Amino acid sequence: MSKNAFKLTLYVTGSEWTYNWARVTILLTVEKHSKIFVAGHLGLAGSAIVRELKSQGFHQVLTKTREELDLLHQEKVNAFFRKEKPEYVFVAAARVGGIYANSTYPADFIYENLVIATNLIHAAHENKIKKLLYLGSSCIYPRATAQPMKEEALLSGPLEPTNEAYAIAKIAGLKLCKHFYAQYGDRFISAMPTNLYGPHDSYHPENSHVLPALMRRFHEAKEKRLPEVVVWGSGTPKREFLYSDDLAKALILIMNEYESQEFINVGSGIEVTIKELAETIKKVVGYGGRLIFDPSKPDGMMRKIMDSSKIRALGWRALNSLEEGIAKSYASALEHRAFQSENGKRHSLNSFSLLKK
Ligand SMILES: NC(=O)c1ccc[n+]([C@@H]2O[C@H](COP(=O)([O-])OP(=O)(O)OC[C@H]3O[C@@H](n4cnc5c(N)ncnc54)[C@H](OP(=O)(O)O)[C@@H]3O)[C@@H](O)[C@H]2O)c1
């Protein structure tokens, strides 16, 4: 019998009736005193999860910086799980980047993301933790899939070549969760968020995602009083964005209420053209120059949005509008001097002491 199977014993007029329910699922509710490990807590998603856990009153949140625990080392990860015995794990640690970083360092992206997922998931299995939530990404979906992208579209066609290495590692991570769930009854589940932004994003000039990259460019243009900012492409492709604090609320809900071997999409439904995105950032940053599009540069996919019916059925909605989220992100980036660091690397923002254990 699997460790998640339950045995129901009935006594009827003196005789004993036993019925084994293989894999009867009951929901585990994370208690306020539960030990929760957030892997990748200094990052965009991880820091939001820690903020939200703390604001909801969870008071045993475990965190480790890369220097304290390099997740690429299986033995160190095992030793950490044996010693600290976390009950719940959020896997928000990963090597992450925009198109340039993904296409320039594919070997690093596939290797590091595979190893981080394997080490954490295997240590969670060996140490019999109660539940693990793994974060994937919308790039797992085939390049030419129908929009909005439904969970069933996974592996139904070729991937986008520019982030194939990253996507393969993310698919392996979600499949690890699925198969440990199927074979051992481990409650390892996965969520696929849409494009994220928020405090503690990376503003690296080359390696960051489109929203923080544009924010940096408008901010620098404002500081240097440049007359115009040129944005690549026609400005017409549509993208979906989710503020990281809204993601964190969704993930805690999923940890409490979602029980399935099948992963779940997390999208805001907030879909804008790149032109609308650039205009919103320009307004929030307060840049007074011109915004110009260069249609000779590639546009990429014309539309990319998640079908998030499953998470909506659980009662979750994104609360922040795009403008509100961008305003909060810009305020945080200014506070942490994110645009002044040499290379835009986030961990130069280590005034984040609140989150350190
Ligand atoms: N950003 C998005 O738009 C987006 C969209 C969809 C899904 N996601 C998913 O969400 C997850 C988190 O992404 P994110 O944007 O929050 O990434 P992020 O901001 O780059 O944060 C990743 C975190 O992982 C840590 N980390 C990486 N390698 C490590 C290692 N070997 N040992 C210990 N820690 C390590 C990083 O530590 P350092 O601080 O030391 O670098 C960082 O704190 C990823 O799985 C990603 O696929 C992100």
Q: Domain segments of the chain: what residues?
A: 36-204+242-271+306-319+341-355
Mean pLDDT of 312-333: 98
Return the pLDDT at 340. Answer: 85
Mean pLDDT of 130-149: 96
pLDDT in tens, 67-90: 999 999 999 999 999 999 999 999
* Residue among 47, 52, 66 to mutate when testing ligand 1 (max atoms within 8 A of CB): 66
Return the pLDDT at 25. Answer: 58
Catalytic residue among 166, 197, 287, 330: 166
pLDDT in tens, 175-194: 999 999 999 999 999 999 99
Query: Measured in angstroms, how far is the CA atom of residue 291 from the centroid of ligand 1?
Result: 31
Mean pLDDT of 11-22: 41
- Whether CATH 3.40.50.720 fits 36-204+242-271+306-319+341-355: yes
Q: Give yes or no for residue 251 having a pLDDT over 90.
A: yes
Quote the Cα angle for 323-191-236, to 5°.
40
Beta-strand pair 88-91/290-294? unpaired
pLDDT in tens, 300-322: 889 999 999 999 999 999 999 99
**The ligand 1 atom nearest the CA atom of 42:** 43
User: What does the alpha-carbon distance between residue 171 and residue 273 come to, in Å, rounded to a whole number?
Assistant: 28
Mean pLDDT of 137-166: 96
Confidence of residue 4 (pLDDT cuts 50, 70, 90): very low
Return the pLDDT at 206. Answer: 82
What does pTM read for this prediction? 0.91
**The ligand 1 atom nearest the CA atom of 166:** 47
Q: What is the mean pLDDT of the chain?
A: 90
Q: Which residues line ligand 1 (CB under 6 A)?
A: 40, 42-46, 66, 70-72, 92-96, 116, 135, 137, 193, 195-196, 202, 209, 346-347
- Which residues lie closer than 8 Å to 21 by C-beta, 6 or more apart? 5, 6, 7, 8
Confidence of residue 346 (pLDDT cuts 50, 70, 90): low
Query: Measured in angstroms, how far is the CA atom of residue 196 from the centroid of ligand 1?
Result: 11
Question: Is there a catalytic annotation at residue 184?
Answer: no
Distances (CA, A) of 135 to 8, 206, 229: 35, 24, 34
Q: Give yes or no for residue 22 having a pLDDT over 60.
A: no
CA torsion sign, 141 to 144 to 147 to 152?
negative
Please, are residues 157 and 143 in contact by the beta-carbon 8 Å criterion? yes
